[in-house]
Amino acid sequence: MTEHTAPTSGSALWVYAHPRATSLNARLFRAGREALAESRSVAISDFYAQRFDPVLRISDLGDASDTPGSIVEQAGAAYASGTLPVDIREEQRKLTEAELLVLQFPLWWFGVPAILKGWFDRVFTDGFAFGGTDPELGVPRRYGDGPLAGRRALIVVTAGEDPGSIGARGISGDLESLLFPLTHGTLWYAGIASHALHVVHDADGLDPDGAEREATRLQERLRGLESEPTLAYRRLRDGDYRGNRALRQDLAPGRTDFGIHLHD
C-alpha cells in the first residue's frame, strides 16, 4: 500500500456534482468557494464542466484489462504501477493534496448523483484510498485508518423535502441514515472524517431571497468550520469490533441503528 504524504495545510478540494449553471447549487458553489478561498487554496472538481466520465471501464485496469480476476485488485495494481488513466490520476492528485474535502450535490433518489458515485468507483482505488494491514494489531487499515486518514470532509446537500419528511421520523427516512453509506461506508472507510451534514431543505421552492440566505449560511458555516468537531465514528483499530467485525455486545446493547457506530 502506498502511503501518501501529509495533505497540504490550508488546502481544499471542492467536488461539485450539478449540471446547471443557473441552479441553486451553482449559487451555493460560487458562494462557498469564495468563502473558503479567504483562508485556503481551493482546487475544484466540477464534474459536468470537465466532462468527467463516471463509468468504471475495463480499460481503467491498465495491463490487466484483458485478464480475468478481481477488478478491485487489478485497479490497485494499475494504481501501484502508475498505469491508471490520466483523469483518475489527476483526481487522486487533487485529493491527496487536500486537507479538506467538500462534496456538494443534490439529493437524487435518496442518494448521491450517479456521476459522484462513479467518481468514488474510479478514484478510490485499492492502494490509494484503502488497503493494507496494521502490522501490530493485525486488522485491516480501514474505518478511521488508511492512506487518506487525517483528512476531513464537509457534505453540502440540497434536498427537495422539508426537515420533517426527511428527518428522524420522516416518511422519506432520516437523511443522516440515507447518507451513512457516504459518511461512514465510503469516507470513514478510507479514513476521512466527516463534519455534520450541511443540508438545504425545500431547495426546489426557494425564491431568490431564500437562495441568498442559504448562500450566506453556507459561507458562515465554512468560515467557522475549523472550530467544529467531526463525527465521532468508532475506529476499527480500537477494538470495538471483534471477530466477525460486528460491534461488541456490551456497546450500545439492544440497538441496531446506524448510530451505534458513533461514540456516545
Instruction: Quote the pLDDT of residue 217.
Output: 95
The strand pairing partners of 130, in sequence order, are 126
Task: Report the alpha-carbon distance of residue 6 to residue 147 in Å, rounded.
Answer: 10
Burial of 104 (0-12, 13-18, 19+ CB in 10 A): buried
The CATH H-level (homologous superfamily) assignment of domain 11-231 is Flavodoxin domain (3.40.50.360)
Provide the pLDDT for residue 8.
Answer: 65
Q: Is the dihedral of CA 100, 101, 102, 107 positive or negative?
A: negative
CA dihedral of 130, 135, 137, 142, whole degrees rounded to 10: 0
Q: Return the SS3 of 13.
A: strand
Cell of 153: 470532509
Place of cell 450566506: 216
- DSSP letter (8 states) at residue 225: G
CB 18 within 8 A of CB 25: yes
pLDDT at 5: 63
pLDDT of residue 50: 94
- Specify the pLDDT at position 6: 66
Q: What is the pLDDT along the chain (264 residues), one digit of tens a residue?
A: 455 666 766 899 999 999 998 999 999 999 999 999 999 999 999 999 999 999 998 888 877 667 888 888 888 889 998 989 999 999 999 999 999 999 999 999 999 999 999 999 999 999 999 988 888 877 888 999 989 999 999 999 999 888 889 988 888 889 999 999 999 999 999 999 999 999 999 888 889 999 999 999 999 999 999 999 999 999 998 889 877 789 999 999 999 999 999 998
- Say what the pLDDT of residue 117 is: 97
Q: Where are the alpha helices (DSSP H) in 37-164?
A: 71-81, 86-97, 114-123
C-alpha cell at 181: 453509506
Residue 173 one-letter amino acid: G
Strands 41-46 and 152-158: unpaired
Contact 246, 253 (CB under 8 A): no
Question: Nearest 10 degrees: CA dihedral of 115, 89, 59, 182?
Answer: -40
Q: Are 131 and 148 in contact (CB under 8 A)?
A: no
CB 127 within 8 Å of CB 76: yes
How far apart CA 43 and CA 16 sit, in angstroms, is 11
- Which of the 8 DSSP states describes residue 61? G
Position 221 scores a pLDDT of 96
Distance between CA 98 and CA 144 in Å, rounded? 17
All structural domains of the chain with their residue ranges: 11-231
